[in-house]
Amino acid sequence: MKNFSQRWMPAALGLLMSVHGGTVMAAADFPEPAVDQKLATSPGKATAVLAGGCFWCTEAVFEIMEGVDDVISGYAGGTKETAKYDIVSTGRTGHAESILITYDPSKVSYGQLLKIFFSVAHDPTTLNRQGADVGPQYRSEIFFTDPEQKKIAEAYIAQLNAAKVFKSPIVTKVEPLDKFYTAESYHQNYAVQNRQNPYIVNVSDPKVEKLKKMFPGCVRKRK
């Protein structure tokens, strides 16, 4: 397992050397999902579970997104017995560092969440790694909870690949969610609570800024 001081430096260097396969993406490069849900006619709650590398980073991106009510860091893909950070970090549990997003489907669609997932939150073309964070626990995966989510996810991946938005094919897995296990309390809202951590400054913060610059209309307005 990497401790926190070991974790930030190689990952930060990896991010600087490879942003979406060496390509600096622009908002115009990302089409709207051709297959998506219609916005609900009244407020409600829906969930999405996504894995895209370190959950500190993916959590930080989606926490500021308009229509998102809550983001929880945790583990998906393995068992309850091994859903512990020090064990998951070995890469031998089947878990992926994941986030559980609770959102209002009258404000944001599942497809819009996936658009941010692919364009801002992580690189979906690197197998079992993000930057220098290496191992299956850092894999790109969408854990769907119903057939509609599966259909939207698979269709959008096919759409992005057909449009050659990335230089390399998307390797994101699309699998049914069995269970989501909430991570230890110190991982929750980590980027906000640990502003001076070099990993946050060098890896997480640039992704948050990327969302603000690429899709300012998707950022929640401050009250």
Would you call 218 a catalytic residue per the annotation? no
Burial 130-161, CB ≥16 within 10 A → b, else e: bbbbbbbbbbbbbbbeeeebeebbebbbeebe
Catalytic residue, candidates 51, 54, 113, 211: 54
- The set of long-range contacts for 207-214, using a CB threshold of 8 Å and a minimum separation of 24, is 207/57, 207/60, 207/61, 207/120, 207/121, 208/60, 208/61, 208/64, 210/120, 211/61, 211/64, 211/65, 211/116, 211/120, 212/64, 214/25, 214/26, 214/27, 214/119, 214/120
DSSP 119-180: III--TTSTTEETTEESGGG-EEEEESSHHHHHHHHHHHHHHHHTT-SSS----EEEE---E
Residue 119, Cβ density class (10 Å: 0-12 exposed, 13-18 middle, ≥19 buried) = buried
HSE value, Cβ hemisphere, 13 Å, CA-based, for 125: 16
Active centre residues (catalytic): 54
